[in-house]
Amino acid sequence: MPDHPLAPDWLDRSRARLAATALAPEAEAVGRVVRVADGIARVTGLPDVALGALLRFEGGQHGFAQALDRDAFDVVLLDDANAVVAGDRLSDTGAVLRVPVGEALLGRVVDPLGRPLDGGPAIDSAETRPVERPAPSIIERDLVSAPVETGVLVIDSLFAVGRGQRELLVGDRATGKTALAVDTIINQKNSDIISVYVAIGQRATAVERVIAAVREHGDPGRCIVVVGSAADAPGLQWIAPFAGMTMAEYFRDRGGHALIVLDDLSKHAATHRELALLTREPPGREAYPGDIFYLHARLLERAAKLSSECGGGSLTALPIAETDAGNLSAYIPTNLISITDGQIVFDTHLFAAGQRPAVNVGLSVSRVGGKAQAQAMQAVSGRVRLDYAQFLELEMFTRFGGISNARVSAQIVRGERVRALLNQPRYCGLRLVDQVALLAALAEGALDAEIPGRLPALRTRLATWLDAHAPDAVAEVQADGMLRDEARVALVSAVAALVADGGMS
Ligand SMILES: Nc1ncnc2c1ncn2[C@@H]1O[C@H](COP(=O)(O)OP(=O)(O)OP(=O)(O)O)[C@@H](O)[C@H]1O
Ligand SMILES: [Mg+2]
């Protein structure tokens, strides 16, 4: 026993140890937890703490400061709330909340603080950035000029989304909002766009399905999944969309292109309301605090197309919002509709009638994407929306007794084919040239003879058929997105030949 008090030199050694110990006073600002409940800790001390500052508890947990009062403040916990108890000490880290950014995140599933959830090693990234960052100013932006190809005909032809645009996906529960967003992510396996999927307050099984779909059909190595699931601390769910934005901005700021899906902001708004009520902020309409509009506006403003002086990168945002009984004029949906550059409205009735994606063509709009469409798509999609809208109206009328008129029945024949084409299963993304060929053939009546029920089979064979029968036209459209007359003729006759071939087999 070397350190026994009876050891001969014990006293000397103890004296030496005492002399080596610094006994000078040392100032350390510490706070103390007064109480903890519902993911929020009430803290006294730390008079100099700043709003949003990152704090560390003695057990290693983290939180950020909210609701600063004269002699106490609230800390929104980012970890397991049960691990923090009244009496715990905490200190100010002197930093704001930051997340790792960079290529190391690609292919990974992380929580909103960038900690891995996929069982892989910790994210090996040299750089971290604050989760709250200012949006690019007007001078740093450019007009949206190139499309994000979703591969979904109804979107690319009627409600095109441009790179740098913010397009809201809004609709009732289980109407296919997530499915469309995931299809868009999957289709980016053919583009240079990096995708970030942010799950906010979702069930773990729903998130698992998204990850499985991307792994099976897409290019998971060019996606980042950020999960703040329903089981996580409210604070963690709250920062999830901001953290996802920061991770996506990294690619935008390097002149690259990124796409972020925020699934969904209704749940984020509910989390914000929960935290606001717990920190005694005054409630406003529908009990949301007054800053809910500013919260989502400052988040979505970060999606942008940058000017060429700033690298020319883009960040496109697809926020998702849930409605109740199709009520688009509820508080959160109207806020989000006015913040974004358009909305895709999903309809329960269309979904029940078997339309996939169940997009309500009358209520949906894309305010900037049309200008970003490739010329080839603009050339063929112009009349589709009008034709289809007229058809939907006519169909209502003719249901109550036939109006037999050659023009009306021609319109109905055409409309039924448009509907069949717009009905697209999941994971069946179409290339630009496939979509252009279909719409050109439709406009010239090449599909009128085909029964609508057979169009899905035809669409499945389309890509390989066009590559084999109109290779020059395909190459031309793919090269510069332009549709010239010869290419148009070649594509239409290839589709007509496919119709004939399908009829024989
Ligand atoms: N284009 C499609 N083809 C076939 N099935 C589809 C299509 N789009 C959606 N679905 C199916 O519809 C169901 C609901 O879709 P999804 O989960 O995407 O809806 P949601 O609006 O995100 O629902 P929630 O409100 O629960 O998040 C899923 O089973 C999905 O597979
Ligand atoms: Mg969903």
Q: Residue 74: which CATH number?
A: 2.40.30.20
Radius of gyration of the chain (CA): 28
Does pLDDT of 166 surpass 90? yes
Does pLDDT of 85 surpass 80? yes
Does pLDDT of 431 surpass 90? yes
Q: Which of 95, 129, 144 represents a domain boundary (last residue)? A: 95
Domain coverage including residue 357: 99-372
Confidence of residue 274 (pLDDT cuts 50, 70, 90): very high
Using an 8 Å Cβ cutoff, are 11 and 58 in contact?
Answer: no
Q: Check residue 390 and give its pLDDT.
A: 86
**Is residue 242 domain-shared with residue 287, that is, in the same domain?**
yes
**Is residue 187 domain-shared with residue 146, that is, in the same domain?**
yes
Q: Check residue 135 and give its pLDDT.
A: 96
- Assigned domain for 182 exists: yes
Query: Does ligand 1 lie within 6 Å of residue 201's CB atom?
Result: no
From the number of C-beta atoms within 10 Å of its C-beta (0-12, 13-18, 19+), residue 453 rates as exposed
CA 360 vs. chain centroid, Å, equals 20
Report how far residue 367's alpha carbon sits from residue 144's, in angstroms, rounded to the nearest whole number. Answer: 11
Q: Report which of residues 256 and 396 the model is more confident about.
A: 256
Q: How far is the CA of 215 from the centre of ligand 2 (A)?
A: 18
Query: Does ligand 1 lie within 6 Å of residue 217's CB atom?
Result: no
Residues 326-339, mean pLDDT to the nearest whole number:
96
Residues 367-377, mean pLDDT to the nearest whole number:
90
Structure tokens belonging to residue 366: 């894309």
Residues 238-257, mean pLDDT to the nearest whole number:
97
Residues 170-185, mean pLDDT to the nearest whole number:
97
**Is residue 129 domain-shared with residue 257, that is, in the same domain?**
yes
Q: How far is the CA of 393 from the centre of ligand 1 (A)?
A: 27
Confidence of residue 426 (pLDDT cuts 50, 70, 90): very high
**What region, left, alpha or beta, does residue 114 occupy, with left being phi > 0 and alpha being psi -120 to 50 degrees?**
left
- Beta carbons within 8 Å of 420's beta carbon, 6+ residues apart: 452, 453, 455, 456
**Number of folded domains in the chain?**
3
**Is residue 69 domain-shared with residue 40, that is, in the same domain?**
yes
Does pLDDT of 226 surpass 90? yes
Does pLDDT of 71 surpass 80? yes
Does pLDDT of 206 surpass 90? yes
- Assigned domain for 25 exists: no
Using an 8 Å Cβ cutoff, are 305 and 143 in contact?
Answer: yes
CA distances from 153 to 121, 181, 410 (A): 39, 14, 22
Residues 79-108, mean pLDDT to the nearest whole number:
92
- Assigned domain for 23 exists: no
- Assigned domain for 26 exists: no
Helix, coil or strand: residue 229? coil
Element (H, E) at 42: strand 40-45
**Is residue 84 domain-shared with residue 104, that is, in the same domain?**
no
Q: Which of 80, 95, 110 represents a domain boundary (last residue)? A: 95
Residues 10-22, mean pLDDT to the nearest whole number:
86
Q: Which ligand is nearest to the CA of 177?
A: 1
**Is residue 193 domain-shared with residue 66, that is, in the same domain?**
no
**Is residue 82 domain-shared with residue 160, that is, in the same domain?**
no
Q: Report which of residues 73 and 7 the model is more confident about.
A: 73
Using an 8 Å Cβ cutoff, are 474 and 433 in contact?
Answer: yes
Query: Does ligand 1 lie within 6 Å of residue 203's CB atom?
Result: no
Using an 8 Å Cβ cutoff, are 8 and 71 in contact?
Answer: no
Percentage with pLDDT > 70 across the chain: 98
Q: How far is the CA of 311 from the centre of ligand 2 (A)?
A: 34
- Assigned domain for 404 exists: no
Does pLDDT of 280 surpass 60? yes
Query: Does ligand 1 lie within 6 Å of residue 202's CB atom?
Result: no
Residues 46-73, mean pLDDT to the nearest whole number:
91
Taking the CA of residue 356 as reference, the ligand 1 atom at the shortest distance is 1
Residue with tokens 């026994």, as numbered in its chain: 4
Q: Which of 98, 367, 454, 484 is catalytic?
A: 367
Query: Does ligand 1 lie within 6 Å of residue 367's CB atom?
Result: no
When the pLDDT of each residue in the chain is averaged and rounded to a whole number, the result is 92
Does pLDDT of 2 surpass 60? no
Query: Does ligand 1 lie within 6 Å of residue 362's CB atom?
Result: no
- Beta carbons within 8 Å of 402's beta carbon, 6+ residues apart: none
Residues 395-400, mean pLDDT to the nearest whole number:
78
**Is residue 76 domain-shared with residue 122, that is, in the same domain?**
no
Using an 8 Å Cβ cutoff, are 167 and 161 in contact?
Answer: yes
Taking the CA of residue 171 as reference, the ligand 1 atom at the shortest distance is 21
- Beta carbons within 8 Å of 477's beta carbon, 6+ residues apart: 376, 432, 433, 436, 483, 487, 491
Query: Does ligand 1 lie within 6 Å of residue 302's CB atom?
Result: no
- Assigned domain for 410 exists: no
Of all protein residues, the one whose alpha carbon is nearest to atom 28 of ligand 1 is 176
Q: Check residue 403 and give its pLDDT.
A: 66
Confidence of residue 386 (pLDDT cuts 50, 70, 90): confident
- Assigned domain for 477 exists: yes
CATH number at residue 166: 3.40.50.300
Q: What share of the chain is helix, strand, coil (3-state, %, to 5)?
A: 45, 20, 35
**Is residue 311 domain-shared with residue 173, that is, in the same domain?**
yes
Of all protein residues, the one whose alpha carbon is nearest to atom 12 of ligand 1 is 176
Report how far residue 215's alpha carbon sits from residue 212's, in angstroms, rounded to the nearest whole number. Answer: 5
**Is residue 79 domain-shared with residue 182, that is, in the same domain?**
no
- Assigned domain for 415 exists: no
Report how far residue 320's alpha carbon sits from residue 297's, in angstroms, rounded to the nearest whole number. Answer: 14
Q: How far is the CA of 175 from the centre of ligand 1 (A)?
A: 5
**Is residue 427 domain-shared with residue 330, that is, in the same domain?**
no
Of all protein residues, the one whose alpha carbon is nearest to atom 31 of ligand 1 is 179
Q: Is 367 a catalytic residue?
A: yes
The C-alpha torsion from 371 through 336 and 204 to 247, rounded to 10°, is 60
**Is residue 269 domain-shared with residue 328, that is, in the same domain?**
yes
Report how far residue 275's alpha carbon sits from residue 458's, in angstroms, rounded to the nearest whole number. Answer: 52
**What region, left, alpha or beta, does residue 421 occupy, with left being phi > 0 and alpha being psi -120 to 50 degrees?**
alpha
Confidence of residue 90 (pLDDT cuts 50, 70, 90): very high
Q: Which ligand is nearest to the CA of 359?
A: 1
